[in-house]
């Protein structure tokens, strides 16, 4: 497993917001992705 040295949470959140605005099907995917990231980081 590759460990990321530093994750820029602000740009990550921004990317999630942009993806969420792409369309109706994206919202669920983005929410799942955010939950996965929170588990990894938290």
Residues 6+ apart with CB under 8 A from 38: none
DSSP 26: H
Helix-strand-coil percent breakdown of the chain, rounded to 5?
A: 70, 0, 30
DSSP-based three-state secondary structure for 22:
coil
- Put simply, whether the predicted model's pTM sits higher than 0.85 gets the answer no
Q: How does pLDDT run across 5-25, given as a tens digit for each residue? A: 666 778 888 888 888 888 888
Confidence class for position 4, pLDDT limits 50, 70, 90: low
Distance CA 23, CA 9 (A): 23
């Amino acid at each position: 497993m590759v460990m990321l040295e530093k994750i820029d949470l602000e740009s990550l959140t921004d990317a999630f917001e942009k993806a969420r605005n792409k369309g109706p099907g994206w919202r669920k995917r983005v929410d799942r992705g955010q939950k996965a990231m929170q588990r990894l980081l938290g």
